[in-house]
Amino acid sequence: MLTAMTSAYGDFKHILITGASSGIGEALALAYAGPDITLSLCGRDTSRLAAVAGACRARGAEVDASTLDVADRVAMAAWITARDRATALDLVIANAGVSGGMGETADATRRIFAVNVDGVLNTVLPVIDLFRPRRGGQIALVSSLASFRGFGGAPAYGASKAAIRVWGEGLRCALAKENIGVTVVCPGFVTSRMTDVNKFPMPFLMSAEKAAETIRQGIAANRGRVAFPWPMLAAVWLLALLPDSWAGAISGQMPDKD
């Protein structure tokens, strides 16, 4: 159990967010921005990231915005360490992720795993080393409802998010005795540049702002899993419980991302 002495119940002062230049990352940055808040944001698009940083500063936050690729292990470790040295981190959200929007070719598959799995490792592992001596802090890993069952249209995306979900769930148990909170976030369809390329129906599509508020509340409560919206969660749970031949037939009929 986490004790009340940690920042795992929402009293965060320095928040680091990856993939902050659009979508959920941008919405989270804006949701947390305010006076006496320090935000460390990274993304790959310099102009979009600068716009997000400017909007957060307008809300009173102190912001460091760095153009980084989370797949770059050395650069991520150096940035995270430097940001923590400037002001101690107390919440880190590993949000950066990509999908096979152009189709899951061999190159796209490798890139998906590099960002969605290695990118999360490159964010979270240095943070664990920083949090352990303090016996406190909160980590959030953004997975997906697609992590509960493999889908024919996006096998690499689902597999990468499944790896992060299971790892995060295990980390929560492993780090609880060290007073470090871990929350795994499993959103459904959320408006973003990633979903903008989808040409198929996206049931229960949610705004990034609403998703960010749901995530923020879950992190503040130190929930182990924040999965939404509930109708989509129920659907993927049901699909995962079906016999494999049935579930495979259903998921195989779903449209490819293109």
Task: Tell me which residues are annotated as active site.
Answer: 157
Helices (H), 33-101: 46-58, 73-86
Closest listed residue to residue 33, CA positions, set 6, 49, 18, 55: 55
C-alpha 243/C-alpha 34 separation (Å) is 49
Closest listed residue to residue 114, CA positions, set 157, 166, 165, 143: 157
Four-residue CA torsion sign, 17, 19, 24, 25: positive
| Contacts of 200 by beta carbon, 8 Å cutoff, 6+ apart | 254, 255
Tokens matching residue 230: 């509930």
Do residues 183 and 140 lie in contact, with contact meaning Cβ atoms separated by under 8 Å? Answer: yes
